[in-house]
């Protein structure tokens, strides 16, 4: 039976007459005393509100029961349960469940999904393909509304959090039956150990109670976030909450240009997260990322904000294993990126790494060229020239690394390159962007955190040598990062790369929190944001 031939029906229980209402094919079925707004009208004298509750249908067999207002009495029987539970937040229901309005003894409706009347199905069949042409603004609006409701009301954590939140603020927690239950559980826990059989039972009860308490504590913490109106947060506030660093939010708020680019990158990731899906797989590269993140977090020289952003230099879009990758540099030229954070030759040299060997990016399989002395020297000479260094005067012993079979190759000079040594790379970052480095604003200002990230990318701009004897062409000692890069050649590229890293640090962990196994993502990403701000951010980036 096709899903489009199934409709919602609500039937009063026999003691209320047994009337069957329906079919309801729309997104929602409303019940209340206002006949102009409700699909099922109930006399106001029974205590129902003008719009008391509604049943939402967000898929062929997925149903949500929700009170229209918090004060609307609504009681739900799950399946063949003998007693109901009071519903104060959107709750998933199934065919066979039933609910009563106002009180448990009020009008009680059975929920049913059943086939449409044969005459309705026949009428639709006769229309053939004509309905496919019947698109309208109203249909698009209804579909958008259905998707939004499904997104907000069917996310398991959000539903649980809402229940915990309203359970406390409504005062239900103080009802005698819950207090008595708590006392009984506490008494049972204290009397554990009075006998082997009783001890086993009480031990089980204690474990269950502790687990519930931990879950409740966590859910109430989420609920408090909701009570702080996180859904009304601006993007900079969401960034601060998700990253756990208020200074970054303040920096974005002061820098409209950077804020706009971070939002663009966040929307891009939200619309197409596939390039980063490798970060949730069981591969060596994921382990390499986790090891690099742990190394960054252990640094005593870096501030907290920089520690939250710097690991995502290693979160590139490709799934390539090994120490090489394709990088588009500040001059929009394809280069070889090497090591955990994929530093270009020019970038590594300008940041102060010592043992850095020339490399060259070549389209296609260049292993033959790598074995030809003349061709190899010319390729590597171009990289030296782009870095402002003299061309090699003699042949350089080299080899080649194929990035993608037959599609791209990195030809490089042989030797131990500092870019592949995590200890040396970390030491370089401590020297260049540590909290006490001269020429950068204090990280507590917020701009100082963003400036540290921008400095790493600005090292790829020709002539901007942060480790040389001459002063670099850029300064991040005051003002916003966008202001410092405004007139610089390659400045827009630096700002774009900086925004990309901030967006990754927000969106990728949120993807893990909302859609992946928590234990695995925690091992990979360490710090994880709460689910509620992630849900709000993801929804906004997908719909704005």
Residue 233 Cα distances to 91, 448, 513, angstroms: 25, 23, 19
Q: How do residues 410-437 score in pLDDT, each as one tens digit?
A: 888 888 999 999 999 999 999 999 999 9
Query: Within 10 A of 521 (CB to CB), how many other CB atoms are there?
Result: 20
Residue 216 has pLDDT above 50, yes or no: no
- Determine contact, residues 66/89, Cβ cutoff 8 Å: yes
Q: Is residue 523 pLDDT above 90, yes or no?
A: yes
- Indicate whether 82 pLDDT > 90: no
Q: Encode pLDDT of 33-56 as tens digits.
A: 988 889 999 888 888 999 999 998
For the stretch 347-373, pLDDT in tens is 999 999 999 999 999 888 777 776 777
Please give the domain boundaries of the chain with CATH numbers for all domains: 3-142 (2.60.200.20), 163-227 (no CATH), 324-420 (no CATH)
**At 173, is the pLDDT very low, low, confident or very high (cuts 50, 70, 90)?**
low
Question: 15-31, pLDDT tens digit by residue?
Answer: 888 889 989 888 889 99
For 191-211, the pLDDT digits (tens) are 554 544 444 454 455 444 444
Integer Cα distance of 175 and 356 in angstroms: 70
Task: For residue 138, name the pLDDT band (cuts at 50, 70, 90).
Answer: low
SS3 readout for 32-93 = ECCCCCCCEECCHHHCCCCCCEEEEECCCCCEEEEECCCCCCEEEECCCCCCCEECCCCEEE
């Amino acid at each position: 039976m096709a899903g489009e031939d199934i409709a919602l029906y609500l039937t009063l229980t026999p003691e209320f007459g047994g009337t069957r209402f329906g079919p309801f094919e729309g997104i929602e079925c409303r019940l209340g005393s206002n006949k102009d707004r409700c699909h099922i009208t109930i006399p106001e004298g029974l205590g129902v509100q003008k719009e008391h509750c509604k049943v939402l249908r967000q898929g062929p067999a997925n149903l949500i029961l929700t009170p229209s207002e918090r004060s609307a009495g609504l009681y739900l029987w799950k399946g063949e349960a003998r007693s109901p539970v009071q519903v104060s937040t959107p709750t998933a229901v199934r065919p066979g469940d039933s609910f009563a309005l106002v009180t448990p003894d009020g009008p009680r409706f059975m929920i049913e999904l059943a086939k449409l009347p044969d005459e309705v199905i026949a009428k639709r069949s006769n229309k053939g393909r004509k309905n496919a042409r019947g698109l309208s603004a109203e249909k698009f609006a209804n579909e958008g509304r259905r998707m939004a409701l499904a997104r907000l009301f069917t996310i398991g954590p959000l539903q649980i959090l809402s229940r915990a939140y309203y359970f406390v603020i409504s005062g239900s927690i103080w009802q005698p039956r819950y207090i008595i239950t708590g006392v009984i559980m506490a008494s049972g826990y204290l009397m554990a150990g009075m006998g082997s059989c009783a001890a086993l039972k009480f031990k089980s009860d204690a474990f269950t109670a502790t687990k519930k308490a931990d879950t409740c504590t966590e859910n109430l913490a989420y609920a408090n976030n909701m009570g702080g109106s996180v859904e009304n947060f601006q993007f900079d506030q969401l960034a601060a909450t998700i990253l756990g660093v208020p200074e970054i939010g303040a920096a974005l708020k002061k820098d409209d240009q950077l804020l706009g680019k971070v939002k663009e990158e966040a929307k891009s990731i939200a619309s197409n997260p596939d390039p980063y899906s490798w970060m949730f797989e069981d591969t060596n590269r994921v382990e390499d990322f986790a090891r690099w993140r742990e190394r960054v977090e252990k640094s005593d020289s870096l501030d907290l904000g920089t520690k939250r952003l710097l690991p995502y230099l290693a979160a590139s879009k490709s799934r390539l294993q090994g120490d090489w990758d394709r990088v588009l540099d500040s001059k929009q030229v394809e280069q070889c990126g090497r090591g955990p954070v994929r530093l270009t030759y020019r970038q590594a040299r300008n940041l102060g790494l010592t043992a850095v060997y020339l490399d060259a990016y070549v389209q296609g399989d260049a292993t033959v060229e790598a074995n030809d002395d003349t061709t190899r020297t010319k390729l590597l000479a171009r990289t030296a020239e782009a870095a402002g260094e003299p061309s090699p005067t003699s042949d350089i012993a080299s080899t080649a690394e194929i990035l993608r079979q037959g599609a791209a190759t990195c030809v490089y000079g042989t030797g131990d390159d500092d870019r592949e040594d995590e200890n040396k790379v970390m030491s370089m970052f401590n020297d260049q962007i540590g909290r006490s480095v001269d020429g950068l604003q204090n990280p507590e200002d917020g701009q100082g955190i963003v400036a540290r990230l921008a400095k790493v990318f600005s090292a790829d701009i020709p002539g901007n040598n942060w480790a040389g004897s001459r002063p670099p062409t850029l300064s991040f000692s005051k003002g916003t990062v966008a202001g410092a890069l405004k007139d610089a050649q390659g400045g827009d590229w630096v700002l774009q790369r900086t925004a990309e890293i901030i967006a990754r640090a927000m969106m990728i962990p949120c993807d893990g929190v909302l859609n992946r196994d928590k234990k695995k993502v925690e091992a990979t990403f360490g710090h994880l944001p709460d689910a509620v701000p992630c849900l709000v951010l993801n929804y906004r980036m997908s719909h704005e």
